Structures are given as C-alpha cells and as structure tokens.
Amino acid sequence: MKITRNRRVSETAGRQSRSKFPNALYSEAGNKMIGRICGTGSFVPEKTVSNDDLAKIVDTSDEWIRERTGVARRHIAEQDTVVTMGAEASRRALENAGISPEDVDMILMATSSSNVIFPSAACSVQREIGAVHAGGLDVSAACTGFLSVYQIGQAYIQAGMAQTVLLIGAESLSRLVNWKDRSTCILFGDGAGAAVLQADESASCLQTVFHSDGRKGWTLTCDSRHKDGAKDLSGDPSTFIQMDGKEVFKFALTKVPEAVREVLEKTELSTDDISWFLLHQANIRIIEGVAKRLRLGMDRFPSNMEEYGNTSAASIPILLDEMNRSGRLERGQKVVMSGFGAGLTWGACVFEW
C-alpha cells in the first residue's frame, strides 16, 4: 500500500482511507501521511541595483548598508511580475522534482506584491504552467508567507485533500518601496522561489508553530492604494512600505528564538539535531542575533541576502533552492525554517529533508 508518486489523489484516497477520516492518507505504519519537499526552483530578475547605485538617489553609502543589513545588491523586476517570476520558479521546481504540472493538486502562493488584486497570483501561475488539475489560492502573510504556505500545504496533505502541492513565495517589492526613503529602499529586492511538497510515507518529524500579534501591525505597513506608478518618485509616501525598523528588529530577535525553541520542544529534538536553520533573510544582524540567542555558531545559518536583499515571502524558498542545488541539503537531515514579518506574524517548523 505504498503511496505512488504523481498519482492523483482522487485515485488513491479511497484505498488508503480509514472510516473516521475518509480522505486522509496513511502510511504503512498507520501514521497520517505528511509531505516531503521533492523539488525546488527559484528565479530572480536579471537587473541588479548595487548599494553604490542607491547612494546616487538617497543619502546612504555601501559601507552603512553592508554593516547594518548585510545587503550588497538586490535584483529588481522591470517587466517581471510575481506571476512571471513565480511561474518560472515553479517550472524549475517541478522539473527538479520530476513532476508534471498536470499532477499538481494545489497551488499555494505567498505574496504581498501582486500588481492585481484578483485573479489570484496562484491562479495566474496555474494558467502559465498548465497545472490544469490544481486548485490555487494566495496567502497574505508578508515575510512569514512561505512558512505559512508550507504549513497549509502540509495540512492539505494530512487531511487527504491533496497529494502534490506546489508552494510558491514571490515578491515584487520594488513596486511598493518608496525610493526616497533611505531607511526602507535599501532593504528589499524582487524574486521568487518554489517547492514541490508531496505526500511521502517515509517523511517524518514534522512540527510547526505559527503566531500573530495584530496589535503590533502598525510597525510594518503598506497601504493598498499603491499602484504601478509607485516607482514614480512623486507618489504619496503614505502609500508605500512604512516600517519602524527598530521595533521590527527587536520583535524578530525575541520571537524567532522563542518559536525555534517551541517547535523543537514539540518534536523533542535539540538544536544539536538540526543541520540547518533557514531563516527569513531580513537582515544579517537579525540572523546573527538569533544564532547567538540559541547559543549556536553561524555555520548552520546560511544566508544569501548579500545578493538579493530582503525578498519577503521569496527569501526562504530561494535559499532552500540554493541549498538543494548546491548539494548542501542531504536526505535525512533535519531542518528548521523560520519566518517573521508584517502582521506581526512569526513561526517555525522542523522537518526532515
């Protein structure tokens, strides 16, 4: 009674069901099925903007930006949208997984920067990649977005509602940034990452935690009146990303270590059991601070914000794809993922690669 990869859930669910949860999938051992990431992909636009380039439009310097954030350059979309970037990252992830778009049951897309309110970016990606059997929806959880779609995807699989879920994080934050505001425009970049999550009876060790605190929502906002003209420097500043950087910094340094400890407690694992801590790439000082609070060295906290800046929901899946393709992720390793950002929202999960 093995789960066959690529078989559509409707064909398999009946045979693997128990009466209490008629659709749920179970492994041979009788445990409820969970998903395993079986392919990753990413895409960033070609155009880069260096710190020196930014120093020509706002009062800043390469030295200040590198020291305070760890960012050296960011990729900026010119023609690309979250849909074109998300679709390309998805094609690469599906190819990496050896899965046809027609075998995807569900597309969950984390984004806060689509240039249309509806149709959802997930449905547009579905159209672009030909995932004709999939359902699709967007999830708005800012920089915690990829963690959220991962958790929802796992819930779909555990409930027997899907067997193959395409997870996407894609952002075009350059549309929403006030290019006159030196405290925010230096941070963000554009790009997309995707991962294919598939029910796998040998997958184990999944625990997740997710939290929100709407009372602190004011610390990081973006008004929905933004429009494509946002790159026009004469735009109304109140319609761009606005952030109390210090508050967000403090929040991340407190809540991320707490979430990591909380999720490890649920699995009865210690930090020694974890090969990699994949954190949202907001600021290198946040990652260093989290590592320090967990009393760990930086060697298990990979980062790529030097090249991409903070790509919000895309940062974790881009990193995941780089880790996968460079061979640093090995099957059987235990990995912690942690996202944090606007909402405020934060959380973590632990899984076996």
Footprint on residues 283-302 left by ligand UT7 (CB under 6 A):
283, 286
Sole binder of ligand UT7 in the list 16, 42, 60, 174 (CB under 6 A) = 60
Q: Is 68 in the site for ligand UT7 (CB under 6 A)?
A: yes
Q: Which stretch binds ligand UT7 (CB under 6 A): 6-14, 31-39, 64-72, 197-205?
A: 64-72
Q: Which of residues 8, 32, 64, 258 is near ligand UT7 by CB under 6 A? A: 64
> Which string of x and - marks every residue 80-99 that binds ligand UT7 (by CB under 6 A)?
--------------------
Q: Of 65-73, 114-122, 129-137, 271-279, which part binds ligand UT7 (CB under 6 A)?
A: 65-73
Residues that contact ligand UT7, how many (by CB under 6 A)? 21
Catalytic positions, written as ranges: 143, 280, 310
Q: How far is the CB of 61 from ligand UT7 (least distance, A)?
A: 6
Is 156 or 346 the residue whose CB approaches ligand UT7 more closely? 346
Cβ at position 141, least distance to ligand UT7 in Å? 12
User: In the window 164-183, what residues touch ligand UT7 (CB under 6 A)?
Assistant: 182-183
Site map (CB under 6 A) of ligand UT7, residues 226-265, x = contact:
-----------------x-xx-xx--x-------------
Minimum gap (Å) between residue 282 Cβ and ligand UT7: 3
SS (H, E, C) the chain: CCCCCCCCHHHHCCCCCCCCCCCCCECCCCCECEEEEEEEEEECCCCEEEHHHHHCCCCCCHHHHHHHHCCCEEECCCCCCHHHHHHHHHHHHHHHHCCCHHHCCEEEEECCCCCCCCCCHHHHHHHHHCCCCCEEEEECCHHHHHHHHHHHHHHHHHCCCCCEEEEEEEEEHHHCCCCCCHHHHCCECEEEEEEEEEEECCCCCCEEEEEECHHHHHHEEECCCCCHHHHCCCCCHHHCEEECHHHHHHHHHHHHHHHHHHHHHHHCCCHHHCCEEEECCCCHHHHHHHHHHCCCCHHHCCCCHHHHCECHHHHHHHHHHHHHHCCCCCCCCEEEEEEEECCCEEEEEEEEC
Give the residues lining the site for ligand UT7 (CB under 6 A).
60, 64-65, 68-69, 143, 182-183, 186, 220, 243, 245-246, 248-249, 252, 282-283, 286, 310, 341
